[in-house]
Each structure stands twice: as C-alpha cells, then as structure tokens.
Amino acid sequence: MGNVKRVLRAIIDLIQITNVPKAQKNICFYSEGESYWPHLKGLVSAVLEYCPFDICYISSSVSDPGLKLKHKKFKSFYIGDHFIRDYFFQNIECEVMIMTMPDLHKYQVKRSRYSVHYVYVQHSLVSLHMVYRNGAFDHYDTICCAGEHHVKEIRSLEKTYNLTEKRILKHGYSRFDELRSRFKLNSHEGLSQSSQKSILVAPSWGAEAIVESGIGYEIISNLIGSGYRTIFRPHPQTIKLSHESIKVILDEFSNHPYFTFDSGVGDDSLYYSDIMISDWSGVALEYALALNKPVLFCDIKRKINNENYIDIDIEPLEVKIREKIGIIWDPSDCFFSALKNCEEFSIQNREGLISNILFNPSSSNCIFAKHLTKMVTNESI
C-alpha cells in the first residue's frame, strides 16, 4: 500500500473511530505494529470471551494481524504512526486504553485531554529500570507486572522519585503462556534430532547490539560456513532504524540454502531452532523459560537506556538470570567452543525459575480480563 493510500486510510479510520459511541469503545487496545500482536492476541481473545464489553483495536501498521480479526464485539482501525496517530491519542474518549508502548506522554504520543485510564502491558520479561528510559512508565495509571521483580522495581521507582503510586496488577505474561502452550500442544522438537543444528540469531537493538556493531555478520558467516542452518531474526527496531546493517547481511547470505530471514511476525523460528544467540534481548528469556532451550549470550556492553538505573538498588533480571539459562560468550574468545558448551547446556530447575519469576503461569489472560471487567464497572480491585 502506497504512502498516500495509507494516509487516506488512516484519516478515514480516524473519522470512523471518532464516530463510534463511547459505550462501544470503553476498552481500546493500541498496537505499534505487527510485532506487538503476539503480546496482545491472548489478552484480546480473553477480553472478548470473558468481558461484556466491545473492543476497539487501533494499530499503527497496516500489516498488523489484529486488524483482520473478526468478532461481533471487535472493531479495528489503522491510524499510522505520525500526525494522525498523535491527534487520535490527544482526543480519544474511552474508559481504558491498553498499550505495550513505554514513554507515554513524553514524546509525540500524549495522554488524552479526556479522562482515560492507561494500562501498560509488558512486552518483555526484562526489568523496567535499565533497558527502558527514565520515566518510561510515569504517565500510566496501571502497570501489569509479569513478576515480582516488576512490582519491586515500580514501587522502588515511585519511592526514589516521589511519584504518584500506580495500580499494580500481578498479571503474568501472556506471551510466555502462548509460547509454552503451543510448544506443548505441537510437541515441537526443533531440529535437535538432526546432525545439522538450527541456530536462531535474535539480538536486541541499539548502536552496540550484535547487528549494528557488525558482530552479527561475523556470527552468521561463521555459522553458515560450518554447516549450521541459521535463522536471522533482528529486533523490530533494528529493522526500522538500521536498514543498512540488515542490508549488508541479506545481500551476502539471503541466497544461501542454510540462511533464513525472519522478520519477527511469527514464532516458527523459535519453535524450530535448537539454540538462540542473543545479547540483551528479552526474547532470550522467553526462549529459555517457555521452550526450555539454551541461549548463547554475546557478552557485549549492557543495554542501558537509563543511566540512572543504579538509583534503585535492584539487579536487573536480564543480568542475574543469564548464567541460569545459557552460556555467556566473550566475543574475543573462541566462538565455536562457546557454541559447543551451549549445545551441551541444560537449564536446571526450569519450573522453579518460572514460578519464582512469573505470576500466574498459564492463566495470565484470564486474570487480565477479570481485572479489566472490574476496572470498567468500577468494582473494587
């Protein structure tokens, strides 16, 4: 779809959602794009099943699978990611807005001029004080916490910076539940029974991350050269912001029979791979805990988007869990030696890790829907 057509569609959809009676848009979900649908899909389904309210689903991407969902209580709208989106957010009139986007009201996307309750849903298991910018959650009313680490971090941030106390929902993590449920249902075993291992390269994003730094090219070249099937799954922000880094890799390897490019919309590469190579990406935690597969962590500089994270004396989850779910590799050391160690690595007491980290494993969607019903009907929470 061309730019002009997208803008016209966004204008039309903006008019349409503005004309939807408020009673039919009590609950709104906003998605930044197709890569966030996996985090919202289970929540939307549970709300449609357990809540007596209509849903409006708003996305900034025409490729978002959520826009294609059909249900009598579900309406979807496309608003783009520029001035039409910004106008929409400033003027939306609904009871509850559910989002996975940090930094609300700090940049272009502002809180509405009307009274709207904003709910933040986690799109990663990582901690909230190092990877995210300072103040990333300050303008939300309710924070859905995947585990006790999120509760402690939010309360510590509020105390340290004298912030208004938010509502906390001990929610869990819908994405984890979906991955583990589908994995068990279909008994995926990757290619582990084959002599030819499948390696998933799925890093985070940023100037010093695997792809942007050039390390990713070397890793992929080494893997393919040694006969490993290699799946390259860059972070959505890398695809969006680092076109040249992606292009260099695709130009070199896209025609090789051992190379596959995964844009990150589906999850097949997670299920059908044997080992993940990552850096500080949150998907590494999902891969290990939900699918019981090891991760080779490239030990680059920590992903720090908040230099003040040390203001609260809590070690981030993504730091302290690494040695429990994989092998840490210094890029100056032998790559294949570390990879061999990772192939032989077994995650110990995985169920214990899950119960210590996550709230409500396997039931987070239902918990969310019941809480949302109480919120909209003003029942005590």
pLDDT averaged per 10 residues in sequence order, the chain, 381 residues? 89 97 94 95 97 96 96 97 96 97 97 97 97 97 98 98 97 96 68 72 93 96 96 92 93 96 87 96 96 96 95 96 96 95 94 96 96 85 55
Label each residue of the chain as H, E or C: CCHHHHHHHHHHHHHHHHHCCHHHCCEEEEECCHHHHHHHHHHHHHHHHHCCCCEEEEECCCCCHHHHCCCCCEEEEECCCCHHHHHHHHHCCCCEEEECCCCCCCCCCCCCCCCCEEEECCCCCCCCCCCCCCCCCCCCCEEEECCHHHHHHHHHHHHHHCCCCCEEEECCCHHHHHHHHHHHHHCCCCCCCCCCCEEEECCCCCCCCHHHHCHHHHHHHHHHHCCCEEEECCCHHHHHHCHHHHHHHHHHHCCCCCEEECCCCCCHHHHCCCEEEECCCCHHHHHHHHHCCCEEEECCCCCCCCHHHHHCCCCCHHHHCHHHHEEEECCCCCHHHHHHHHHCCCCCCHHHHHHHHCCCCCCHHHHHHHHHHHHHCCCCC
The pTM of the full predicted model, rounded to 2 decimals, is 0.93
The whole-number pLDDT of residue 381 equals 55
8-21 pLDDT, tens digit per residue, is 999 999 999 999 99
* Domains of the chain by start residue, with CATH: 3-175+360-376 (3.40.50), 180-357 (3.40.50.2000)
The whole-number pLDDT of residue 2 equals 76
173-218 pLDDT, tens digit per residue, is 999 999 999 887 765 554 445 568 999 999 999 988 999 999 999 9
The whole-number pLDDT of residue 191 equals 43
The whole-number pLDDT of residue 193 equals 52
